[in-house]
Amino acid sequence: MELQTISNVSKMYGVSRRMLCYYEDVGLIKSSRKSDYAYRVYDENEIKKLKQIIILRKLQIPIKQIKDILNNQNAVEIIEIFKQNIDELDEQITALSTVKSILARFVNELQEKADVHLKIDLLNNNTMLAVVNTLSFSENKIRENVTIEELNKAAEQTHKLTDRDVRIIYLPPMTVASVYAQGTEPGPELTTGELLNKFISDTNLKEIYPAARHFGFNNPDEPVHGEGHGYERYITIPDDMEVSLPFVKKQLKSSLYAAYTIPFGEWDAWFKLHEWVFNNEYYDFGDNEIEDVCGWIEEHLNYWNWYASGLSMGEVDKFRQIELMIPIQKK
């Protein structure tokens, strides 16, 4: 088989260019470049891996486990990975059965007791507790007398992002000041954060540009040559503002994003947001010009509040909200 360009592979297998970039970033596949050719190309072995990845993703195998499977020649260990996923599916089926039974009981209660002229009081805590504690399930699903703790666990197991959780937002073209650090102590996030706060103070940015927005992203996401991962921050600035090193002035193009807000530190939500885009009927992964990270960025919300607080970057993290953002495009 001839070497295939990233565009051809994307079209042949229905995988967006950004997803191919993401698979490379996490080490699932590798591309190469011809000396006289600017685009990424894939050989027969990498395309074979991609086919395997597509199959495993359709079976809802997590990316981390796919990496373990592709790098493992031991059939016994691969079988164990599949068994783990079967067990998790069994737990999800049980949890969904629990939720279904609770909802069915609520329907029956409403049909029997609800007066359409009065507010329905079924879902107050005491009533819910009474209903949940009297639920009965068949022996092959779940035992009787489900507790609130078990109900919460079921909700966690079945929770995936829905269209109500994810916002579709448009970022207009922006001028930003960018600062970057990699593998530095006490870490690139704190290093760039301290540099950003100094930049804000030196330029009086809060007063001259109160509409500023603050973004960040890993770049690169994984350690390179033992130097650790990197982190880059953007803060929007007036178009005519000049900056000096270590900051670099950049122009960002407009992009459409799927966005989900988290408390600082709940990074597992990246996978939930990725799953939402991956399975969405109307949107696919999109492109933007942030390379090496597939465009996944974080907006640090209400940054002026934290900047004005005088707290250190580490202290601020306890209270900060982050908007996770993945570029998308309409299918």
CATH code, residues 4-70 = 1.10.1660.10
Q: Which pLDDT band, with edges at 50, 70 and 90, does 123 fall under?
A: low
Q: Is the pLDDT of residue 310 over 80?
A: no
Q: CB-side exposure of 222: number of CA atoms within 13 Å? A: 8
Which residue stretches of 215-312 are H helix?
Answer: 269-278, 303-309
Cross-strand bridge partners of residue 326: 258
Q: Where are the domains of the chain?
A: 4-70, 85-158, 167-330
Yes or no: say if 121 and 65 are a contact pair by the CB < 8 Å rule: no
Architecture of domain 167-330: Alpha-Beta Barrel (3.20)
Whether 324 and 270 have beta carbons less than 8 Å apart is answered as: yes
Q: Between the CA of residue 78 and those of 57, 82, 90, what are the distances in Å? A: 15, 6, 19
Q: Which pLDDT does position 204 carry in this prediction?
A: 94
pLDDT digits (tens, 9 = 90+) for 152-180: 555 454 467 888 899 999 999 999 999 99
Give me the pLDDT at residue 141, please.
39
Q: Look at residue 58 and tell me whether its pLDDT is greater than 70.
A: yes
Which residue(s) pair with 260 in the sheet? 324
Q: Would the CA dihedral through 24, 29, 33, 39 be positive or negative?
A: negative
Higher pLDDT, residue 215 or 8: 215
Which of the listed ranges 91-95, 134-138, 178-182, 310-314 does the model predict with the highest average pLDDT?
178-182
> What local confidence, expressed as pLDDT, does residue 265 receive?
76
CA 313 – CA 320 distance, rounded (Å): 10
Whether the model pTM is above 0.75: no
Q: What is the pLDDT of residues 189-198, one digit of tens each?
A: 888 888 998 9
